[in-house]
Amino acid sequence: MARRRRPLLLLFLTLVPSIALFFACTASAYSKISDDTLHNLPSPGYDFDIHNGALLAPILRTRVPGTSGSTAVLNHFANFFKTNLPDWIIEYQNSSSTTPTSKGQEIPFVNFIAYRDPPWADPGDVGRLTLVAHYDSKLTPEGFIGATDSAAPCAMIMHAARSIDKALTKKWNAMKAEGADVAFEEQKGIQILFLDGEEAFLSWTDADSLYGARSLAEHWDSRFHPALSTYKTALNSISLFVLLDLLGEKSSYVPSYFTTTHWAYQKMAELEDRLRSLRLFKSSPNHGRDTATKEPLFLPDASKPPSAFMGFTVQDDHMPFMARGVEVLHLIPTPFPDVWHDMTDDGEHLDIPTVEDWALLTTAFVGEWMDLDGFFDAAPYSEKKRWRPSGKTEL
């Protein structure tokens, strides 16, 4: 039983020419983050330890919608933001639905939403980079954890949010101190969605999947901002929908799926290449050294020509948003990991260096998108040593 891979008529490619123009303009204004800032990106320390790590360990449990495990993980998200990121706004979006296994009973689905906007901006005037993962786990097999699917991606996003928070504050404070005319600045915010009910309860169909995503996309499509706002609805406020799924296994291959966001894929691929060359990737087999063997990449499609986009996609939480015109960068490997929907998709089968590298890459992408170059505190020397393996090749 295959999930989520089938041909799709990509109508969004021909929806409105201004969409492509908008993103081309955004890409042209995109400024690179410096090597110094890449070196200063915070280390996760032991946050990804599968037994005691503050970010990952509490998610490595069954979390089927409507169960106590799901509630425990929601509380983990809320406590993390309240404790570490008090300037972020937390919201919940609730819905309910029967499922093929619920015997007519309504199952509750809860989407967790957290965002931070420039302090002077009205919500309807802010375009938000949106990082997304689903937090539910599959009903069967009984006891399924779903470490790559998607406990680890949730923890990666939490790390990225915490890593950029102080830099955001410094940037926005500096803008106010310098007397910048913020009314004429591009208003960029950051938003996180941990979506419920992605997994099918029985078998993947349009009705038995994406419960939380379908509900939130419909709700935000009709959640209107004031008449003179820059963005008409909460859905329009999403500048880019970056969806992480099935990440954390060694040697993941993530294609570029969509021509309209290939430029964003290229920006992330460039950051990956730079992080490898700076010896900041823990999973890097060569640690950036010049060798005869080319190092495998997470994102190998940077030079993919337009003719290679075949109109296929992987069905996932982005679908209800993309159908409404939201631009999507989908970070999911093809083929799926060997542990996909198997009991072996647990903490012990994660490759933690790969998990940490995806967290670092996500942080770098957010930092570059939010123009945070130079606003990160200098990393302690001990952290730089931990992230930068020795260049020695012999004793």
User: Which active-site residues does the annotation give?
Assistant: 198, 245
CB 348, CB 151: distance < 8 Å: no
129 beta partners? 190, 240
Matching residue, tokens 């449990």: 61
CB 125, CB 183: distance < 8 Å: no
Matching residue, tokens 């159908």: 323
Cα–Cα distance list, 83 to 51, 87, 133, 159 (Å): 21, 10, 21, 14
Matching residue, tokens 């375009």: 127
Torsion of CA 211, 212, 216, 219, to 10 degrees: 50
Which strands form 107-116's sheet, in the order they lie side by side? 89-97, 107-116, 188-195, 127-134, 238-244, 328-331
